[in-house]
Structure 1
């Protein structure tokens, strides 16, 4: 079985070895760096390469009608499939961007949503930061600007979802795709299927956020 396909690690044993190292790092919900360098890993057919963990954040925009804002990915991995608006946490002013701020920034860039709505509608994090994500371990296709990741290095992605409960009907928002989004849409959560998504844990995050919102409304 091949270990790498389309710049993604696909060998299950290697995925497990790498994700175990991510989990053992105990980086928490608010990482101290945008990228953590974790030594080296043996890549079949290549040899030892640098291993990194890059941190991201996702925005889950919900309304009271059971709807969520989704993008269609422009780039791989998962080009042409649905995803939550989101992206990598940046290094800023000698420090690291707060994950909530990263989620808001990415949502604005990818959907055109008004930032003020997100700031006012923040409902908070959805669960803990996810490190056990064997499906999102990549071989860098080039040097990644602003990071220590170089072409041929291996890096995984941790993420955390942030729920934003917005007033009214999401379908009435003036949304416009941008940045890494090919398209943006408002979808009924009940109609969504796992096979539509570029990232396997995005639909579970949406459902968990919806459950949290329902509980908040009852309390």
Structure 2
């Protein structure tokens, strides 16, 4: 609160999105993170929601930017609170996860500097320490429970 005018500013979390993309074998598409936090670890494609953008629009944009894939449908899975630490600053984030379909999986091209590569993995075989963020692990577990 400002001591001069009594204005109170609330520091609300930023929004971020993550995509669960499957191949024909029901394996999850994971990126290999190209920068901190979690450089070299696996993660779901996604990123921050820009001002004026819906979560779904951000998801479409981020999947295209990171992998050059066109999202055709989205289905909400879950959301989780997260803390994103970078360059000595930690910001609160609400991560929103969606299962998505893409027009086609051929022609994946990674965004240089952001993504070092990609792999398909069986979601059930992933351990928490394989992934850059706890929320990605939680989202994959939530998605798996929806499949039963």
Pick the TM interval, shorter chain.
0.7 to 0.9
Following superposition, the deviation at residue 153 of structure 1 comes to 5.8
Q: Secondary structure at the match of 2:134?
A: coil
Q: Does 1:130 align with 2:130?
A: no
Counterpart of 1:90 (choices 43, 50, 73) is: 50
Distance 1:154 1:196 in 2: 22
Measured against aligned partners, the alpha-carbon deviations of 1:153-212 in whole angstroms (never above 9, x if no partner) come to: 6421111001014588x5xx2212115211112222232221111001212212322443
Superposed, 1:1-219 pairs within 5 Å as 38=10, 51=11, 53-91=13-51, 96-113=52-69, 115=70, 118-119=71-72, 122-127=73-78, 129-131=79-81, 133=82, 136-138=83-85, 141=87, 154-165=90-101, 173-178=106-111, 180-212=114-146, 214=147
Equivalent pairs, count: 139
Gaps of 5+ in 1: 1-36, 39-50, 142-151
The CA deviation at 1:83 is: 0.3
1:98-133 Cα offsets, whole Å, 9 max, x none, are 0011111111111121x1xx22xx241102x322x3
Larger Rg: 1
**So what's the TM-score if we normalise by structure 1?**
0.56
Unmatched runs of 5 consecutive residues or more in structure 2: 1-8
TM-score by length of 2: 0.79
